[in-house]
Amino acid sequence: MTDTEHLVALAEQHLYPNYRQPPLVMARGKGSILWDTEGRRYIDLYAGIAVSAIGHAHPKLVEALSRQAALLMHQANYYLSEPNILLADDLCKRTRMGRAFFCNSGAEANEAMLKLARRHFFDRGEKQRFQVVAFDNSFHGRTLGALAATGQKKYSDGFGPTGGVTHVPFGDVAAVKQAMGPEVAAILVEPVQGEGGVLPAPDGFLPALRQLCDDSGALLLVDEVQTGMGRTGRFLAVEHSGVRPDALSMAKALGGGFPIGAMLCTEELAKALPPGSHGSTYGGNPLASAAALATLSVLDEEDLVQRSQKLGEDLAARLERIVERESHVVERRGMGLMQALVLEDAVDLPGLVARLREAGVLVTAAGGCAIRLTPALNIGHEELEEGLQLLEQVIGDIDR
């Protein structure tokens, strides 16, 4: 057996089979190129689901991680650490928020946000105010609280009751208005539904949610786990609408590939989670914080938020041409470097993603009907073009 076959056999034997992994083993990445253990090369247009925003093995990130690993990796929030303090300061300034809480994933960041909202009202004597309004087709993570907020049955089926969340159609202001009441603590929304198939909130929707929250005293919670860190052409996607949330969650690209999540909130909410009420052993540890600081400084040095916007426009135009040419492609949607091609229902989406991989380009499926492109924000023009040509070829071959 080759090493790869041996590894795949071991994986089949012992890895928990909750993912649908093809029999290939990724070995190495540089920028927007990945290589597997057989030496096959792939153009990476998914960046680990919008995580590796500065590409693989960025020298600044590798250096920051190495330096911090040798200095101090972890001490569990019993004491302060410099990288964590500097990260909180940086993120609060960028997002115009007052406070930052750190954890290790997007689901945990959303859990923190949901617990923040519930406990805020509990603290103010509104003990029955814990209901959350969230949206159909949304995705907020896999832990039970985040799962309760997720508006897609395929993620929650079989896991028994989860509660405290009312789901209404995304974009439907009247339905949200109807769902608001004295028991509603918060509205939770993705500015662009990512897993749901790259669906930007309709114009005016986020401002309308802000208004409904202001009218009822509820909090506006924005899930920027996928859309944050410049993905949509602004540091936060919510900036496109000018809306200021009461709290927001980040993760995915925050550590450039190193796990870290964050919940940011206004100063007014600083008392909602007093000492002892919430925490995370690894949360914001010096290593994860150093990774996020390095990733943020690369975003600045390489002007990647601006690049996401500009290159996103080029990418959108390029994808529109594919929509015109290919009869199986219904539409393009997305913002910045978070884009999708929506395919006809008849197209076998997993099969298409597999053929693209075999052709040497990696994308993800989203929403059951779309090919999602979330390349690194610093992907080279040549790599992007090479990937798009392969995409166009493979889509063009669907019938033949």
Ligand X SMILES: *Cc1c(COP(=O)(O)O)cnc(C)c1O
- Is 154 one of the annotated active-site residues of the chain? no
**Can you tell me which of 225, 298, 342, 370 binds ligand X, judged by CB under 6 A?**
225
Whether the Cβ atoms of residue 7 and residue 25 lie closer than 8 Å to each other: yes
Least distance (Å) between residue 253 CB and ligand X: 10
Question: DSSP 3-state assignment of 141?
Answer: coil
String marking each residue 171-210 x if it binds ligand X according to CB under 6 A: -------------------x---xx---------------
From the candidates 101, 102, 223, 235, which is the catalytic residue? 223
Q: What are phi and psi of 113, to 5 degrees?
A: -65, -40
Contact between 326 and ligand X per CB under 6 A: no
Least distance (Å) between residue 249 CB and ligand X: 7
Stretch that binds ligand X, among 78-86, 89-97, 137-145, 322-330 (CB under 6 A): 137-145
String marking each residue 233-272 x if it binds ligand X according to CB under 6 A: ------------------xx--------------------
User: Side chain identity at 68, as an amino acid letter?
Assistant: Q
From the candidates 139, 170, 205, 258, which is the catalytic residue? 139
Burial zone of 222 (CB within 10 Å; 0-12 exposed, 13-18 middle, 19+ buried): buried
Closest CA to 193 of 169, 175, 209: 169
- Is 214 one of the annotated active-site residues of the chain? no
| 194 or 367: CB nearest ligand X | 194
Stretch that binds ligand X, among 127-135, 138-146, 199-207, 384-392 (CB under 6 A): 138-146
Total binding residues toward ligand X, as defined by CB under 6 A = 15
Give the Cα separation of 11 and 55 in Å (integer): 27
Distant-in-sequence, close-in-space partners of 45: CB < 8 Å, separation ≥ 6: 32, 361, 362, 363, 373, 374, 375, 379, 384, 387, 391
Q: Which two tokens stand for residue 80?
A: 């302060």
| 228 or 395: CB nearest ligand X | 228
Question: DSSP 3-state assignment of 15?
Answer: coil
Residue by residue, DSSP assigns 74-111 as --TTSS--HHHHHHHHHHHHHHT-SEEEEESSHHHHHH
Q: Establish how many alpha carbons lie within 13 A of residue 369's alpha carbon, considering only the half-sphere containing its beta carbon.
A: 16
String marking each residue 87-126 x if it binds ligand X according to CB under 6 A: ------------------xxx--x----------------
Least distance (Å) between residue 224 CB and ligand X: 8
- Is 115 one of the annotated active-site residues of the chain? no
**Can you tell me which of 226, 241, 285, 339 binds ligand X, judged by CB under 6 A?**
226
Closest CA to 254 of 239, 244, 266, 264: 264
Q: Where along the sequence are the contacts to ligand X (CB under 6 A)?
A: 105-107, 110, 139-141, 190, 194-195, 223, 225-226, 251-252
Kindly list the catalytic residues: 139, 223, 252
